[in-house]
Amino acid sequence: MTSKLDLIIKPAFSRAYIRIVMGNRVWAEVLTDSMLPVLSLAAYVYTYYFLGASSQYVGFVILGGAMLAFWSNVLWSVGSQLYWEKEDGNLETFFISPASKMSLLTGMAFGGVVNTALRVIVTIAVGVIVFGVHFDPSQIPEALSVFGLTVIDLYALGMVFSSLYLLYGREAWHISNLLTEPVSFISGLYYPIQFFPFWLQALASLIPMTLGLDILRRMFFNGSTILSESLEVGVLAIMAPVLILLAKFALDYMEQFSKREGRLTLRWQ
Amino acid sequence: MAIEGWRGFKAAVWLGWQIDSNWTDIFLFSLYTIIKPVFGMLTFAFMYLAATAGGPIDPEKLAYILVGSSLFTYAGNAIWNSFFAVHEDKEHYMTIRYLNIAPSNFTLYYLGRITPSVLFSSTISLIINLAVGVFLLGMKVDPTSQTTAYLLVSIPIVALGIIGYALMVVGVSFFTTRYLWSLVDGLTGLSFLLGGVLYPPTVLPPAIKWISQIVPWYYWIEMLRSPIIGSGAGLTLSFILLGAAFSAAFLVLGIWFFNWSVNRAKRDGTLDMVISW
């Protein structure tokens, strides 16, 4: 007899398992996925060299690049995943099974975190070995906590986006595509957002990546601690449950709405 | 023959336009077209501000970066859209087998299919990017009659080279699927790093900066950027000839490789193979 708990845990585990095995079974692919983003990041580093920026900006680029990898994964492998499933013809199966949809999304998110983390290690290693970025080792445990919290928030945000795909097709795809550059700009992936006007800084703070990067930069390059950044860390901590609840609400609502509209399993929209 | 080719090309342009734009109304589509590249350019503008710590702006350096990034985004989009057109036809809409057996010219079909995205989306966003750079960010552009002449000569040369480059990427996508995304990302990343897009190759370490001299993007970007920012007089005849030689080579290779790839894909049974969806 399958218990309710099984219907939450097993689908999450299965979906994460598929994603992790599928994403890492070909080592050549893991290597190329890890190395290729470094080429673009290196261009950003040389741009700062060209501009005569101080060495900490190279660290900003490496941290930003690491976070960008997670953000891209959130957009394309969690936020848009239900689009792929719909086009593949799997979505119907997900919806007629008694499994919790939230647990499926959690499994996808967990698998995505593992896969992306494996690739981001290469980015950080290149930053340290090739570009000489120095991350204070004493800050690493606290920084990892902040990084983890930021990543949880980002994936929860991705789960909110995913509900859009139940109703929309190419429209939602284009929204995902559109979100890459503006969010990278507003969240200050490669520079501190202190150069923004106050209203834009406030708006940017609604994106977990902005807060997470800001704290991490101050921890690694200005010697801050979790305690001294408690306000921003607190906001990040509050965002996670709020976004997860929002994702649950959005998923339930959009499921009903798209069923009424007859678009839940409509392909090639 | 020519009329049939033209009709096929026209139909492909119409199809490309519909696929690109009919998911929303024209206003939203235009906004979508503009937002992405403008924010991409703003990222570089703020990198500049951050690096100079809000100090005095060097308009020439700023122009070098912003025009370079805008041109590369333009060309990159054209190539990305070319590859993605095949991906859509082959894997998503699964129409490639019908397109291939149709009497219209297959190469002309793909040129037509990507024309709207290149002419409308990318060109408009490039113009808006340059306008934002000049009017909002204080970017220095200095077109004179001499630099305008350079630009008018450079545009068709570079365009033909990029068409050849795009045809090669499209060609690869006929017989591979799994590694194609990585290939496109890798080529883009390498060109971005070594092609003198955001900085002169002299900034690169001595061990790799010589590679820029054999990357076509270095010539193509510089042939367009220099006239726009007003240093076109610095372009030597040998530099332009090298750029033109790269363009000619890529165009000839691109057309040959496209046809070879179609034949190979048919032989191997990969032309309509679906693995992504």
Query: Residue A82 above 90 pLDDT?
Result: no
CA-derived radius of gyration, chain B:
20
**Residue B85 lies inside a defined structural domain of this protein:** yes
Q: What is the mean pLDDT of residues A231-252?
A: 92
For residue B112, the surrounding DSSP H or E stretch is helix B106-116
* ipTM score assigned to the predicted complex: 0.89
Question: What would the pLDDT profile of B177-191 be if each residue is shown by its tens digit?
Answer: 667 778 888 888 999
Least confident span in A92-101, A260-269, B27-36: A260-269
Q: Who contacts B79 (Cβ-Cβ below 8 Å, separation ≥6)?
A: B162, B165, B166, B169, B184, B188
Q: Which amino acid is at B57?
A: I
Tell whether the model's pLDDT for residue A141 goes beyond 70. yes
In a domain, B81, yes or no: yes
pLDDT at residue A268 above 70? no
Work out the pLDDT band at A151, boundaries 50, 70, 90: very high
Inter-residue contact A7 to A103 (CB < 8 Å): yes
Q: Which residue of B has its CA nearest to A194?
A: B50
Of B32, B52, B193, the CB nearest to A51: B52
Q: Which residue intervals of A130-206 are DSSP H helices?
A: 140-162, 164-167, 170-186, 198-204
From B208, B9, B20, B182, select the one nearest B110 (Cα to Cα). Answer: B9
A217-226: average pLDDT: 90
Least Cα distance to B221 among B238, B200, B204, B203 occurs for B200
- The answer to the question of residue B167 being in a domain is yes
Task: Assess contact for B103 and B7: CB atoms under 8 A.
Answer: no
Record the tokens describing residue A169, joined without a space.
Answer: 């097709």
Residue-wise pLDDT for A18-60, tens only, equals: 999 988 888 888 888 888 889 999 999 999 999 999 889 999 9
Say if the Cβ atoms of B50 and A57 lie within 8 Å.
yes
Is there a domain that residue B12 lies in?
Answer: yes
Domain holding B257, by residue range, is 2-268
* B207 lies in some domain: yes
Using CA atoms, how far apart are residues B66 and B48, in angstroms rounded to an integer? 10
Compute how many other C-beta atoms are within 10 angstroms of the C-beta atom of residue B16. 24
- Kindly tell me if the per-residue pLDDT of A221 is higher than 60: yes
- Chain A residue numbers with beta carbons less than 8 Å from the beta carbon of B52 are 51, 53
DSSP string, A62-114: HHHHHHHHHHHHIIIIIITHHHHHHHHT-HHHHHHSSS-HHHHHHHHHHHHHH
Please list, in sequence order, all residues whose beta carbon lies within 8 angstroms of the beta carbon of residue A163, skipping any fewer than 6 positions away. Answer: A82, A247, A250, A251, A253, A254, A255
Q: What value does the mean pLDDT of chain A take?
A: 89
What are the tokens at B232?
A: 């076109």
Q: Report how far Cα B70 is from the mean position of its chain's Cα atoms.
A: 10
Sort out which chain B residues have CB atoms less than 8 A from A192's CB and list them.
50
Q: Average pLDDT of chain B?
A: 87
Contacts of B3 (CB under 8 A, 6+ apart): none
Nearest CA in chain A to B58: A51
Above pLDDT 90, what percent of chain A?
A: 50
pLDDT > 70: percent of chain A: 99
What's the structural domain count of chain B? 1
SS (H, E, C) B132-196: HHHHCCCCCCCCCHHHHHHHHHHHHHHHHHHHHHHHHHHHHHHHCCCCHHHHHHHHHHHHHHHCC
Could you give the CA distance from residue B73 to residue B180 in angstroms, rounded to a whole number? 19
- CA-based R_g, chain A, Å: 19
d(CA B227, CA B107): 32
Q: How far apart are CA B121 and CA B101, in angstroms?
A: 30
Chain B residues touching residue A36 (CB < 8 angstroms): 182, 185-186, 189
B111 is a domain residue: yes
Helix axes A56-73, A208-222, angle to 10 degrees: 150
Provide the CA A205 distance to its chain's centre, in angstroms: 16
A165 touches chain B (CB under 8 A): no
CA closest to B276 among chain A residues: A88
Contact assessment for residue B169 and residue B87, using Cβ atoms and an 8 Å cutoff? no
B201 at interface of A, judged by CB pairs closer than 8 A = no
Q: For position B98, what pLDDT does the model report?
A: 92
- Residue A111: pLDDT band (50, 70, 90) is very high
* A254 CB-near residues (< 8 Å, 6+ apart): A163, A164, A166, A167
Cβ-nearest to B39 among A84, A185, A191: A185
pLDDT-derived band at A1 (thresholds 50, 70, 90) equals low
| pLDDT at residue B233, rounded to an integer | 56
Segment-wise mean pLDDT, segments of 10 residues, chain B, 277 residues: 84 90 82 85 91 83 91 86 87 88 89 84 82 82 78 90 91 80 85 93 92 92 88 76 95 95 91 77
Q: Is B57 on the interface with A (CB under 8 A)?
A: no
Digit-coded pLDDT (tens) for A164-204:
777 777 777 788 878 888 899 999 999 998 888 899 999 99
